[in-house]
Structure formats: C-alpha cells, structure tokens
Structure 1
C-alpha cells in the first residue's frame, strides 16, 4: 500500500510578489545557509572551491524589500573559444518547490543565466519522489520475483516530487538523460529518535558485527588533515578490489577537507577505525544544518573479519545523531535487486542500517541555445560511452 507523505516545509522564508535573482558574495551565501540550513553540501559556496575547472557564482532570490528568500551555487563550465558556458546547480536550487508557481522561481534564474551566455542549464531538484523502507526491499529480494526497485510498490510517495516532473516539462525542461548525482540514495531518518531506537533499527547482522568489532578491540577516532594520505590509500585499495575508479587524486580530498572546514570548522570530518594499531577503514562525514552525509570511504582487504566498517559507520551514525541531524544520508545505491549482481552488495550493506531507499527526480536540463545544447549532448554521450 502506498502511503502519501506530507510535503516537507520549505527551508526558505515565505515569499510573495515578484522575485529577482542577483549575484551575492560567497560569504553572504555561506552566512545565509548557516542561518537557514535546508540545503546540500553541493550547494555550499565551499563546494565551488573543491571543483577544479569550474567557475562559480553565488546567487540569491530576493523578494519584497530586497529580502533574501533562497540562495544557490551555480557552477559554470566554459566552452573554449565560444564565450558560452554550461551551467550546473548540483542538487539545487533549494527553492520552494511546493509553491504554486514554479516558473516564478525558475524564470528569473534562467533570465540571469541567459545573460551570462549560458547555452544549457542543468538542475537537480531536491524533492524526493518515491521511498522504500529497508524491510520492504529485503522482503522483495527474498521473494525473488523482482529484479529492480521500480518493480516494488513504494512505501511512500512525496506529493511534491510526484508532480514536479510534469511542472518542469510544462516550463520547457527535459530529463538530462544520465545524472551526475545519484538518483537513488539511502537515508537513515534520525529526527525524533533516541539513539537506542536507532540501534534497535539496525539488522541483527549489523548489531552482531558492531559487537564483534568492539570485542575484537576495534577503536574509532577522528583523524586530521595529515591522515588523508592513509584515507586515500584505503580508497584506492577499495577501488582496485571492486574494479572501479572514482577518478580522484589525493589533492582532491585534501582540497575538499580544507575548503569545507574553512567555510565552517567541523563541516567535514575524517573518522578512522583501527585494530592492533593499524587503520583498517576510513570514512568522511559532512554536515550542513540538520543533515549529515557519509561521503567517501575506503577499507583494507585484511582485517575484514573484525568488521571495522560496521564499527566505523555506527560511530558516524552516533556522531550525526549527536550533532542533531534529522537525516543521515549514505548517498548512492543502484536500483538492481539481483543478489548475484555487482551492485547488490553495497545496497545490502546499507539496508542493514534500517533506513530507506529514496528515489529522487534526477537531473533536468533547459536548452537556451539548441544547436550548442545538441552538440554538448553528443559530446557527453561519446565521453560517457
């Protein structure tokens, strides 16, 4: 049975009358987020300094009397020699998507970007679409009659997310085709829950593994900038073991750690799981307002029998809870439910936390110059294989 969940309250103040979108200093952007929250780390101005090769601009929606009602980070990728650019708002903008007139919020953004010489705008609308509880997904896998999450009846449908796609199409937007950010994420709700309730929500296997790690003497502690080399070595080892490549060097993670923490001390934390004096796992935790994310992790091939990953994640959940996070986001999962497939292991591991698989709306594009937009799509298709 599908349960309709109430729409989330908008993070931005209520607005009425005409809206303008204007550039603002990055410091003002960061201060607004600190005061109002309600956004992802990908929309913080510090993220622009992480993404080498992109220009960035902080924008504000201003309403009556010039009052700011929303902010956004825009990343620009310039096309050499044309004086044109591709504009990208990862997991944004964090406007009031539930409002009756979506065009009133998006059109001034589009007008400003057109004046900047943008040929395509890509956005990542934040509203959720469908939600599956961990128990529902596990039951579907045990039943053996489905192979993809889309074949499973969701536990909840967000009314805002369920209508946003149609509203965007009516305004001329179209699905991007291949998303940059994950469409399916795994989230552990923490709002209003005691830590004991969160522990009880872990699967029996997860609780056994955390206890096993504790009995084996696994310890978890926060690391510092100089520990990023160890973290990176474990990330690379994980990539080789899993036959994938994130394509990021040590300098990327050092820049990420430096810039996010320069914006707000403690925004990004590095946690290390040790056993017998050796670091066996290392994960990064990011917080913005009342949301926390598990960003990147790596683990050693040896020592897995003492379950350092479970101990580390439980410590990160405890940290997120202690910081007052409403949601702990474990980021992307694949929608395949085939237990023999290469993607199911990660989903199964995250299901053990007792959270939810959340399907977003994916990314959407608006062509402002159709010939350049078409050429850009062909280029991306060749590059992505």
Structure 2
C-alpha cells in the first residue's frame, strides 16, 4: 500500500535507462510490490507489443523506480504508442512528480514514441460494501455516492498530473479497470464475519454438498476455457480471448516464478463446476478470471472456490484479496449489477483507482498521430 501522506520534495536528479530482467525483478519491492501487469512475464502475454524494462536511478546509481513499457507500432511507420499498465512503480508520494516523469518522457521520445499512457497505482476513493448496498437504486453509479474515504495521495497525484499536461482517459476508455474490489484479510475469522448472511449461508451449503477444491495445472486449462465460454454466453459478455491466450499466460507467468499464475477448480461428484485464476506477485494476490457451469449452481462451487482462494491469499501474507474489476452500475435492474452485488456480499471495499492517463509527446507529428489514434479507438 502507498503511504497516505506526501513525502518532502527530493532534489536529487533521476535518470531513466533500460535494464535486464534479473536486475528488474530484483527491484520488485521498492514500494510495496508492483502489479503483475508490470512484471517482465506480462510482455510475453502481449506478443503484439514490443517490451522494454526501465529503471530510475539516483545520483548514487541506485535503482529507485521501475517500469515495464509496452510499445505498439503504427503500421508503416517507426513510431510507437507507449503503454505502462498499472505503472510505473515509482514514488508517487514525491511532491515533485516531474523528477520522475520528465526523464521517462525524454526516454520515450528517443525511442520513437508519439504518446504515452500510464496507470498510476495510488487509490483515489473508497466505499464500504454497506454504503453501496444501502445506496443502490435506479440509474445510479458508484460515483454518485459520497465515498467513505478520499485518499490524499491519489487526490494530489491527480492534480499534479493535470498541471504537468497529462489527461485522464474518459470513462470507459481505460484498458484496465477503474473500479476494483478489495477484501481485507485481517484474519480468516474476520473475513467470514464481514461476509453477509447470504455468503455465509452459501459457503455452508457448499460444504454440506461436498464441493472439493484443488489447484490445477496447465492440463486443466481446456476445462477452464470451456466453462469460461459457458459463463460468457450465460452472462452476455465476450472477453475475446482464446484458449491459447490463457495457455501463453500460464506458461509465461509460471516460468518467471513458480505459482505466479494459479488455476483453482471446484468439483462436485467428480465434475468440475467452476474454475478461477489467481495471480501472485510478492505478497500481492489478484483474482483475475472466473468461470462456472450453468447447472448445479445450487451447490455453490464458486463460493467454495473464492473462499479457498481467500484462505490461500491470507496464508501467503496478502493484506487484502484483490477481486479486480467491477462495473460502476448501482442499478439493481441491470445485469451488470449482479456481479458487483456478489462481490459486495464479501463485505469488502470498492476502490476507485486514478484511472489511466495519457500525454502527447512533444512534436506536431506526434499530436497528429495521437489525435488519429484516439479517433480510431473511439470508432
């Protein structure tokens, strides 16, 4: 977690340059642990992007920040859009953010980038589950509800990015979720106590039904993918990812560190009814993708699986279990509210991130290319 107060301005000049994978991975705990999207293995999941590992160094040549940059080329031109998903991993509490961002921009210009998008890790606002459940109503969005907490670092970073010329992506324009769900892990008893009566009842039902959970391996990915297709069809959404995508992700993340991506399965009478993936980096844990069958939902395999994953996250030392993205819809009549309602039942917190921010790099041609790219994305 980032500090909640701003650190004093440091005058030391910082430089940015490329580093090798071993050096990069060794600097993974500078500010409490980076996102799995900022690890070198994530670049292998995105083969259409060219990766570069960067490090900030101080006057003593010590590494004080890192970033995985993904470059996407413009067809026919040696010009690139640079993307730092959920990064960079720098000291966002520094009151002089330009010390960090200016050398990054200079490096990207030299690399041929015409624009850059970053995903600052600080949180912006928080809502307790009880607050949002009480506020739910027709046509409401999470942003319409007064938050329980406004994070001072996030608010300050927002103001400073704007003053430096960065623009926050419009609602719906982020590549990564703007709203995420965190389940605090003070103790396993504490997690159970925070759950609402429906969640507690469904967990007991899964135990009585005899649901069995286990960690699978690469050979179980086809089963997971079949269940995912069923889930997409049932819930009316399409992730657009192939089985090969998940096989590549599983292979790349676990080659970097054993157990970095885990596949959990829940079975009833020998049949797998639910399969969920979890990513682990340091002491941070993320639930990424969930899939389940459309039959025998009465035995609650997904509830059993989530509880097993929360238990493992606690044993791993995680401060919270990150259930990743949610819709900001608070209208009980809309389909997308269903998943949020399911997560709210755990008693966790909805967290609004800073979202993603873009900057057009200096140059008239860069402005033209970035404008054209935005118009293309909008279409």
Give the TM-score category using the shorter length.
over 0.9
Within a 5 Å distance, the mapping from 1:22-61 to structure 2 comes to 22-33=17-28, 37-61=32-56
**Of residues 114, 130, 133 in structure 1, which corresponds to 2:125?**
130
Tell whether the 8 Å contact from 1:212 to 1:307 is kept in structure 2 after alignment: yes
Residue 353 of structure 1 aligns to a residue in which SS?
Answer: coil
Alignment-derived partner of residue 183 in structure 2: 188
TM-score under structure 1 normalisation?
A: 0.93
Tell whether the 8 Å contact from 1:6 to 1:159 is kept in structure 2 after alignment: no
- The answer to whether the aligner puts 1:227 opposite 2:216 as a matched pair is no
The superposition leaves residues 286-319 of structure 1 with CA deviations (integer Å, 9 ceiling, x where unpaired) of 1112211000110000110000010000000001
Q: Please report how far the alpha carbon of residue 169 of structure 1 lies from its aligned counterpart in structure 2 after TM superposition.
A: 1.2
Tell whether the 8 Å contact from 1:30 to 1:263 is kept in structure 2 after alignment: no
Within a 5 Å distance, the mapping from 1:1-385 to structure 2 comes to 7=4, 17-33=12-28, 37-141=32-136, 144=137, 147-177=140-170, 178-190=173-185, 193-368=186-361, 369-382=366-379
* More displaced 10-residue stretch of structure 1: 272-281 or 171-180: 171-180
- The change in CA–CA distance for 1:37 and 1:261 in structure 2 (over 3 A counts) is farther
The superposition leaves residues 89-124 of structure 1 with CA deviations (integer Å, 9 ceiling, x where unpaired) of 001112111111011110100000000010010001
Q: What is the count of residue pairs matched by the alignment?
A: 371
Tell whether the 8 Å contact from 1:62 to 1:69 is kept in structure 2 after alignment: yes
Tell whether the 8 Å contact from 1:19 to 1:63 is kept in structure 2 after alignment: yes
What are the ranges of 5 or more consecutive residues in structure 1 without an aligned counterpart? none
RMSD: 1.7
Equivalent-residue separation in structure 2 for 1:68 and 1:26 (angstroms): 14
Runs of 4+ in 1 over 4 A off after TM superposition: 34-37
Residue 64 of structure 1 aligns to a residue in which SS?
Answer: coil
Equivalent-residue separation in structure 2 for 1:346 and 1:306 (angstroms): 18
- The change in CA–CA distance for 1:317 and 1:9 in structure 2 (over 3 A counts) is farther
Tell whether the 8 Å contact from 1:40 to 1:91 is kept in structure 2 after alignment: yes
